[in-house]
Amino acid sequence: MNVEFSRRRFMKFGAFCGLGAMTSVYGVSSALQFEVNNYEIPVPNLPMSFNGFTIVQLTDLHHGFGIPISVIDRVIHQVNLLEKDAIVCTGDYIHGGDSFSAIDKVWSRLMSLRAKNGVYSVLGNHDHMFGNGDHSLSWLGKSGQSVRHGAASIMRGDDRIWIGGAGDLWHDSLGIDEAFRNTPPGEFKILLSHNPAAADTIFKSKVDLMISGHTHGGQIAIPPFSSGLCGLHARGGMQVYISRGIGWYLVPIRINCPPEISVLKLVPFDSASAG
């Protein structure tokens, strides 16, 4: 037996295991350290009086295993400190397991969110899973934040924009046209949809901006795992923004893809292009 060869193999194996352990520790710790990230979002059809209108997005809190309520408290506290015009919440507030208790805890926190032009929320797939749908819908309804299958208007002078909400793509009816059924066709519309794949479904309403989550940015953003699972994307005449969100799925790891609170500053598409 070649002792030197075996020793080199053992050292390589040990280094590989050590690197794996370090990567895991980094990935798990980074999953609990969220960022506040500012994005300028150029959108078509935005009234000039809403130039600079700022929306803070919360998504994919996934409260439960790995995301304790103390993390949710820090996130909510940070959001309430930020300068913003409105807050939007795009679903997956719980992870699973002790679901009813988790729903009660997280929604009691969500109801403390404050913004001068309101808080608007929809549900995600995890909010419907494990038999939780009715309980989550009940909280959504009594929160006063629900735009599921409906839309709310925000006025600035003579100008108006709309924020509407879809049901979850997998566990609810999307209802995008239902959400905007009472909105004038030419006015600026924002759609909240947990799953960004809703952008590829068939609906008649003209939507200018969709705000989504669901993907967690892939959680691991290094080749070959990196992809366009977050950020701003164009779908025809509609802009789609996908946040990395706060929580995780399957494994509590994020590598080069930290959790985030997204701060979205809306600007007219033409002026952004010119700049």
Q: Which of 89, 85, 75, 66 is nearest to 36 (CA)?
A: 75
Q: Any residues with CB less than 8 A from the CB of 61 and at least 6 apart, and which?
A: 67, 72, 75, 92, 93, 94, 106, 245, 246, 247
Quote the CA–CA distance of 157 and 273 in Å, as a whole number.
26
Contact 122, 133 (CB under 8 A): no
Tokens standing for residue 123 = 């549900």
pLDDT of residue 223: 73
Quote the CA–CA distance of 175 and 150 in Å, as a whole number.
9
Quote the CA–CA distance of 195 and 14 in Å, as a whole number.
41
Q: Quick check: helix, strand or coil at residue 123?
A: coil
Contact 20, 12 (CB under 8 A): no
**Strand locations in the chain (E):** 35-43, 54-58, 86-90, 119-122, 151-156, 159-165, 188-192, 209-212, 231-235, 238-242, 260-268
Tokens standing for residue 229 = 């699972």
Tokens standing for residue 6 = 């075996």
Q: How far is CA 94 from the centre of its chain?
A: 13
Domains of the chain: 31-274 (3.60.21.10)
pLDDT of residue 252: 84
Query: Which amino acid appears at position 42 of this protein?
Result: P
Find the farthest-apart pair of alpha carbons in the chain and give their distance in angstroms, rounded: 86
pLDDT of residue 194: 98
Dihedral sign for Cα atoms in the order 121, 124, 126, 129: positive
Sheet containing 35-43, strands listed edge to edge, beginning at the edge strand earlier in sequence: 35-43, 260-268, 54-58, 86-90, 119-122
pLDDT tens by residue, the chain, 275 residues: 443 434 344 333 333 333 333 333 433 455 578 899 999 999 999 999 999 999 999 999 999 988 999 999 999 999 999 999 999 999 999 998 778 999 999 999 999 999 999 999 999 999 999 889 999 999 999 999 999 999 999 999 999 999 999 999 999 999 999 999 999 999 999 999 999 999 999 999 999 999 999 999 999 888 766 667 899 999 988 999 999 999 998 888 888 889 999 999 999 987 544 44
The tally of CA atoms less than 13 A away on the side-chain side of residue 275 is 9
Quote the CA–CA distance of 10 and 16 in Å, as a whole number.
10
Quote the CA–CA distance of 273 and 275 in Å, as a whole number.
5
Quote the CA–CA distance of 28 and 255 in Å, as a whole number.
9
